[in-house]
């Protein structure tokens, strides 16, 4: 089982960017925790972990998943609220590569512009507000879903 974990704009700054909102974990910390969790869940679970500040690159990565990945975990970051392109890419592969959306903070407790997710309707589930642990929850849920 191969899972693509995608991280959008500014997530490369985790650990130093607004830690009161996003916490002190870095993206490397989250990647290490996900790999440890994947190995506990089973030897056949592989994680491909990526980050980009480019909307176009994110869309390309999503579009290239069919036949290569079994599922996607995505934190689109600010693109959650602005990108029809990312939403359309997720919808285009949803029949073969289901996705789970993750957010470090609870976006509903933040500015009103962050309350609407354009990408959530293209995903089988959404986790938010648990900081880095949300990625682990998403991995466990997606593996369970794919194993059915």
What is the maximal distance between C-alpha atoms in the chain? 42
- DSSP class of residue 98 equals -
115 belongs to the catalytic site: no
Side-chain-side CA neighbours of residue 60 (13 Å)? 8
Structure tokens at 40: 């506990």
Stated as kind and residue range, the H or E segment containing 55 is: helix 55-63
Please pick, among 103, 108, 115, 135, the residue that the annotation labels catalytic: 103
Closest residue by Cα to residue 76 from 101, 56, 112, 106: 101
* Rounded-to-integer distance, Cα 73 and Cα 135, Å: 8
The reply to whether 69 belongs to the active site is no
Nearest to 11 by CA among 56, 52, 61, 59: 52
- As annotated, the active-site residues are 22, 103
């Amino acid at each position: 089982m191969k899972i693509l974990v995608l991280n959008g704009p500014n997530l490369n700054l985790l650990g130093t960017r607004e830690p009161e909102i996003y916490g002190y974990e870095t993206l490397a910390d989250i990647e290490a925790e996900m790999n440890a969790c994947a190995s506990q869940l089973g030897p056949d679970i592989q994680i491909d972990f990526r980050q980009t500040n480019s909307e176009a690159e994110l869309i390309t990565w999503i579009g290239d998943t069919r036949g290569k990945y079994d599922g996607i975990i995505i934190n689109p970051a600010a693109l959650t609220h602005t990108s029809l392109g990312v939403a359309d890419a997720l919808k285009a592969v949803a029949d073969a590569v289901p996705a789970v959306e993750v957010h470090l903070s609870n976006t509903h407790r933040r500015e009103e512009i962050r309350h609407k997710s354009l990408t959530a309707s293209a995903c089988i589930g959404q986790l938010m507000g648990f900081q880095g642990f949300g990625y682990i929850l998403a991995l466990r849920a997606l593996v369970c879903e794919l194993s059915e």
